[in-house]
Amino acid sequence: MIKALILIGGPLKGTRFRPLSLEIPKPLFPVAGYPMIYHHIAACSKVKEIKEIILIGFYQPNDALNKFITSSQKEFRIQIRYLQEYTALGTAGGIYHFRDQILTGNPEYFFVLNSDVCGDFPLQDMLDFHKRRPDGSYGTVLATEATRQQSLTYGCIVEDQDTHEVLHYVEKPETFVSTLINCGIYLFSPQIIQTLEVAFKKNLEENYNFDFNLPSKEVIRLEQDVLLPLAGDRKLYVYQTKKFWSQLKSAGAAIYANRHYLAIYRARDCDKLAVSGDNKPTIVGDVFIHPSAVVHHSAVLGPNVTIGRNVVVGEGVRVRESIILEGATLQDHCCILYSIVGWHCTVGVWTRVEGTPNDPNPNKPFAKLEIPSMFTNDGKLNPSITVIGSDVQVPPEVIILNSIVLPHKDLAGCYKNQIIL
């Protein structure tokens, strides 16, 4: 028997996802028509040995989270439950705190997945790989290749090319270490709890020094406190994937993830994608339309568009590389490009909402999505996708370009490179 843990964090996280994370917990933000962690659960459900999925975080239980858990249990026919941390315990503190619940039933292994990554998760391949490792191995880390420069912003792994043992691990090194980076997906044996216990006791001892620069005694960092001491000890291994993977830490990353999840639908679950036809909108590339949405047959959608629940799309509307969230109304002949239109927004007739794509450099092999800071060095807003928060009214015949609009606004004109508070 195997379990899966999904680390969903809490309300103090996801600041780069605002204003979208103001309305809903970030892990429930819909990408390609489904909450972000739905894709994690779907991947876990394909591993037959997984009998339980545990969400760990410090969000207060709420209706949205409870409904999601209930609907996911019914759809995937797997037990899912949420364990709430009493405070932010770090990337491994929750695993140690809830160790008794995790080890109930004597699981042979357990997966650990960070919620703020997206990808074509090769969990079964990781499991098969880990089972072939020597007895006594504690875990396997999913890794992928990055560019030399980008690797400095990730956890870097040095492996033995023959045995795939992790020889060295550094989290966000100051100088180049390796182009092999940590994907934030792990498979652990129950023995890993011993390493967590050592880290926890060490934190307790250091806390007696009352050094306020040290992390709280309850916090255990999976990367620094667990992976680092295991590296080079023949207990930690790395499985490298060449499939799609990316961090999902910003709204721009959501557009990028939306594109790739739609491509996965095309390869494995094409019934989820819309098709052109008589009295239907024109579909270009991969497009997801929720069954409750009302889309005029003259609209042109795609490529890489998600139309959410109860969305209304008017006559002659053009949407490309965008996510339109639940209850939004796109009035006749408006144009939405590289943008996220929030819940229950209205975009007026002949209005243009446009952002700037932020894709990886196609000329650099293994390049990952860059997540730039919101502002340039001279204080200007970095060009990025346009994000319109919930319940925003965008008037007719205006242009909104490279802007972020906070919720509950009635816009009066055109905006370019602005944050509208």
**pLDDT value at residue 421:** 83
pLDDT given for residue 207 in this prediction: 60
pLDDT score of 216: 53
Question: Average pLDDT over the chain, rounded to whole?
Answer: 89
Pairing of strands 34-35, 30-31: antiparallel
The pLDDT, as a whole number, for residue 110 is: 93
Residue-range domains of the chain with CATH:
2-247 (3.90.550.10), 273-420 (2.160.10.10)
The pTM is what?
0.91
pLDDT of residue 134: 83
Query: What mean pLDDT do residues 230-246 have?
Result: 90
pLDDT beyond 90 at 79 = yes
- Condensed to tens digits (0 to 9), the pLDDT of residues 345-358 reads 999 999 999 998 88
pLDDT for residue 382 is more than 80: no
Q: What is the mean pLDDT of residues 195-217?
A: 67
Residue 324 pLDDT: 97
Contact 312, 347 (CB under 8 A): no
Alpha-carbon gap, residue 308 to 319, rounded angstroms: 13
Confidence at residue 206, expressed as pLDDT on a 0 to 100 scale: 66
Q: Which of 64-73, 93-102, 214-223, 308-317 has the lowest mean pLDDT?
A: 214-223
Instruction: Identify the CA nearest to 180 among candidates 200, 202, 154, 216.
Output: 154
Q: What is the CA radius of gyration of the chain?
A: 22
CA atoms within 13 A on the CB side of 224: 12
Mean pLDDT for the stretch of residues 97-118: 91
pLDDT of residue 260: 92
- What is the mean pLDDT of the segment spanning 78-97? 87
Per-residue model confidence (pLDDT) at position 245: 92
Beta bridge partners of 181: 144, 156
Q: In this structure, are residues 417 and 381 in contact, taking their beta carbons and an 8 Å threshold?
A: yes
Q: Are 334 and 350 in contact (CB under 8 A)?
A: yes
For residue 326, the model assigns a pLDDT of: 96
Q: Where are the beta strands (DSSP E) in 33-114?
A: 34-35, 50-57, 79-84, 109-114
Strands 117-119 and 245-247, bridge-based pairing: antiparallel
Mean per-residue pLDDT, 263-285: 92
* pLDDT, tens digit, 9 for 90 and up, residues 148-204: 888 898 899 999 898 999 999 999 999 999 999 999 999 999 988 888 888 788 777
